[in-house]
A = this chain, B = another copy of it.
Amino acid sequence: MVEIRKPIAVRDAIKRVMDKANALPIIEIALEDSFGYILAEPIIAMHDVPSFNNSPYDGFAIRSEDSIGASGDNRIHFRVIDHIGAGQVSKHALGKYEAVRIMTGAPIPEGADAVVMLEQAVESENTFTIRKPFKQLENISLQGEDSKKGEMLIPSGTFIHPGTIALLATFGYAKVKVRKKPIVGILCTGTELLKVEDEIEPGKIRNSNGPMIEAQLKRRGIESRYYGILSDDLESCFQLVKKVLVETDCVITTGGVSVGDFDHLPEIYRRLQADVLFNKVAMRPGSVTTAAFADDKLLFGLSGNPSACFTGYELFVKPAIENMMLNNCPFTPHTKAKLTEDFLKPNPFTRFVRSVYRFEGNEAIITPAGFNKSNAVSSIARGNALIVLPGGTRNFVAGDIVDVLLLGNENGVSSWMS
């Protein structure tokens, strides 16, 4: 008898894994290693930015009151009493008609309250003239105009990108509190699987899922341990999965989750006394995608079909991993886009179609990436997005607006904007 499994909605399946994705510990790492981690503390302005009034230009710091009445016919003369670059502090306080030659970023000297840009001055040795009045604080970058001391600038739970790092550096965070990234174990099952370096044999295929998942994790900066292709023996499979569960924070298997005669994962979950969160999802490809929970860790049983495996990772593993790091934005960005070709197949289950997303002017355009069965592999290589066609629908045609999940933006475009 075939085991009858009850499919659950994609949204419910996602919720179940998100609920079980336990937060990993907080660690402290060096700022230069922090790219891609999730902040475990908010960034608070430790001081005003800028921390002192400074000159945004190369020029002369003056007292604005001395410039009153300056014009082309009434040039006002200033005497240069000091010369400072960025990082230098003038020891002089300005008197009447005195100026300090000042470079971009240098602090405004005592008494000065405006800056004459070099190109606004006519210089001669140690003096210059101006021909317009300067307002108080004209050409001055004010202390605190960017950020005020004590202000919460970036919340905990934020992905650390290059701009975040610039801000952390500004406030002297040489070490940053972040959530540990999970270490993910990968095992592939299937007696049909050859290693990448093997010659092709009748009835066999090379294992593409293992390297693919390693790369999906690497794309996110997550370390994986690849445990290779499992033997067909249930007992040794069980022992290996048990070992991986100890050695890693999260286990991904590919294949073996269906109801076929050699599908060992259901039995392995039983022996682990794992809580099976779901073993059938109302989606194509990948309806056999399974998630289980044992020893406080998630086990993902992804389909052995490449497209289904890819989709299962993106839908379930990816946000669960973000949740383990307490990312406050754990989900893949989604939008809507205009379909460029008909997609007439009925969708009894929600269908995820590997696709190419691009822009034409201000219009987002989505095109299926080719051959679209669950065993497809070429379309994974071509796509950068997934069209989402809800279950119970059919007959989408060119011009329809459809939901789209945006998977990665490493693919650039061939030309600069016109």
Contact = CB atoms under 8 A, between A and B. Distances in A.
A232 B168 CA distance: 25
Given A190-B105, A261-B103, A383-B163, A206 B371 contact: no
Interface stretch (A19-27, A46-54, A243-251): A46-54
Contact of A417 (B170, B208, B210, B405): B405
A146 B377 contact: yes
A368 interface: no
Q: How many copies of the polypeptide does the oligomer hold?
A: 2
A413 B329 contact: yes
A56 B375 contact: yes
A68 interface: no
Given A87-B193, A169-B196, A417-B405, A161 B412 contact: no
Contact of A381 (B163, B190, B261, B331): B163
A377 B331 contact: no
A217 to B, nearest CB: 9
Interface in A360-418: 361-362, 364, 371, 373-384, 388, 401, 403, 405-406, 408-417
A362 B337 contact: yes
Interface string A115-141: 000110001000000000000000001
A14 B2 CA distance: 62
B381 A167 contact: yes
A87 B191 contact: yes
A169 B331 contact: no
Interface stretch (A197-205, A270-278, A293-301): A197-205
A212 to B, nearest CB: 4
A338 to B, nearest CB: 9
Contacts of A170: 205-206, 208, 306, 377
Given A381-B43, A406-B409, A208 B332 contact: no
A238 interface: no
Interface of A: 1-2, 11, 14, 31-32, 35-36, 43, 47, 49-52, 56, 58, 83, 85-89, 101, 103-107, 118-119, 123, 141, 145-147, 153-154, 159, 161-174, 190-193, 196-200, 202-216, 218-219, 226, 232, 258-262, 304-306, 310, 319, 322, 327-337, 354, 358-359, 361-362, 364, 371, 373-384, 388, 401, 403, 405-406, 408-417
